Amino acid sequence: MKHPNFSISSEVNRALNFGSPIVALESTVITHGLPHPQNLQLARDMEKQVTSNGATPATVALLNGKIRIGLSDEELIRLAESDSTLKVSHRDFATAIVKKISGGTTVAGTMYAANMAGIAVFATGGIGGVHKESAFDISTDLRALANTPMIVVCAGAKAILDLPATLEYLETMGVPVAGYQTTEFPAFYSRESGLHVSVRLESPKEIAEFAKAHWNLGMRSAILVTNPIPESEAISKSEMEPIINQASAEAVKQGIHGQQLTPFLLSRISEITKGKSLKANLALLLNNAKLAAEISKEMNVKKKEWAI
């Protein structure tokens, strides 16, 4: 792809040219989602997880005003250690470009950039959604899912959100929500939410078939693949609920809103659970990278062969 604001690494370019499996990875989780040094470790582990499952990792970020797809280890370090990065969603790209600054791309931001490059599979932790704290705080992630043809693997929406409202929004926007070997919508730290997905899919192959069927019909939305957190790291809904309510009440009291809300809630919950939620977050991220790599292998045809 030739675009003055994009720069794609040679590894990712090669994979794109050969039509070999690629998994896009986000970077807000590095810059705003996790504390240092776990963020750097996680960034490296996500890439390793993708590589060892047979796909090329493509971490997306903004570096000095350039949209980068595929980062070197030095660049991952720079991103993980900087404390002046921007959280980049759709509205923020031009800010980063004009001001020549660096930033971590959100789910929405990563979907935009990866789709521009022709990457079809993306792994993240949990998508953003409809917040509980204020009526109009709805993540751009939902809009991106509505109009970007991509498979997004996550562990559900973050439990800090209004999950029923988030699912309603996705339904309105025509986004299929698939459960990987489950009919229950997972809730990030917990495997259970009491809510249902729109379709249960059993294997990476079936997920790839589903995506191709959806897009061959002319649908332009993403397929949200929800992959429950591994049993060994899961925290039950009943254990999480009061903790989330406490963190949420603190956010309201301190007047925290907008882009700061998600990072605040994640780090408060990690403090309250004495790191247990952080451990769960890392486990589900790696679990998602593995499934995304497996799916990308099943999609191993050039995107233009199946996209309209």
CB of 144: closest distance to ligand PSU in angstroms? 9
Residue 74 is a catalytic residue? no
Kindly state the DSSP code that residue 138 receives in the 8-state scheme.
B
Structure tokens at 113: 């950039």
- The listed partner (Mn ion, ligand PSU, none) that binds 281, CB under 5 to 8 Å by sort, is ligand PSU
**Hey, is 178 helix, strand or coil?**
strand
Closer by beta carbon to ligand PSU, 188 or else 208: 188
* Distance (Å, whole) CA 186 – CA 26: 20
Of 261-280, binders to ligand PSU (CB under 6 A) are 262, 266
Q: Which of 158, 212, 290, 297 is catalytic?
A: 158
Q: Count residues near ligand PSU (CB under 6 A).
A: 20
Sign, CA torsion 129/134/137/138 = positive
Asked whether the bond before 37 is cis by omega within 30 degrees of 0, the reply is yes
Amino acid at residue number 45 = D
Closer by beta carbon to ligand PSU, 42 or else 208: 42
Q: Which of 47, 92, 141, 184 binds ligand PSU (CB under 6 A)?
A: 141
Of the ranges 122-130, 206-214, 215-223, 272-280, which one interacts with ligand PSU (CB under 6 A)?
122-130
**Hey, is 167 helix, strand or coil?**
helix
CB of 243: closest distance to Mn ion in angstroms? 20
CB of 149: closest distance to Mn ion in angstroms? 24
> Does the footprint of ligand PSU cover residue 59 (CB under 6 A)?
no
CA 239 to chain CA centroid, nearest Å: 24
Find all residues with CB under 8 Å of 269, minimum gap 6, and list them.
Answer: 160, 243, 244, 247, 277
Of 152-171, binders to ligand PSU (CB under 6 A) are 158
Tell me how many degrees the CA angle 255-110-167 measures, rounded to the nearest 5.
65
Residue 132 is a catalytic residue? no
Find all residues with CB under 8 Å of 53, minimum gap 6, and list them.
Answer: 289, 290, 293, 294, 297
The residues of the shown chain that bind Mn ion, judged by CB under 5 A, are 137
Find all residues with CB under 8 Å of 4, minimum gap 6, and list them.
Answer: none
Q: Which of 56, 85, 102, 106 binds ligand PSU (CB under 6 A)?
A: 106
Pairing of strands 56-63, 66-69: antiparallel
Structure tokens at 16: 């794109």
Q: Which of 59, 139, 193, 277 binds ligand PSU (CB under 6 A)?
A: 139
* Distance (Å, whole) CA 93 – CA 132: 27
Q: Which of 15, 25, 28, 39 binds ligand PSU (CB under 6 A)?
A: 28
> Does the footprint of ligand PSU cover residue 115 (CB under 6 A)?
no
- The listed partner (ligand PSU, Mn ion, none) that binds 53, CB under 5 to 8 Å by sort, is none
Q: Which of 259, 267, 300, 302 binds ligand PSU (CB under 6 A)?
A: 259
Q: What is the dihedral angle through the alpha carbons of 207, 210, 216, 217, rounded to the nearest 10 degrees?
A: -150
> Does the footprint of ligand PSU cover residue 107 (CB under 6 A)?
yes
Closer by beta carbon to ligand PSU, 33 or else 70: 33
Q: Which residues are at the interface with ligand PSU (CB under 6 A)? A: 26, 28-29, 32-33, 106-108, 124-126, 128, 139-141, 158, 259, 262, 266, 281
Active site residues: 26, 158
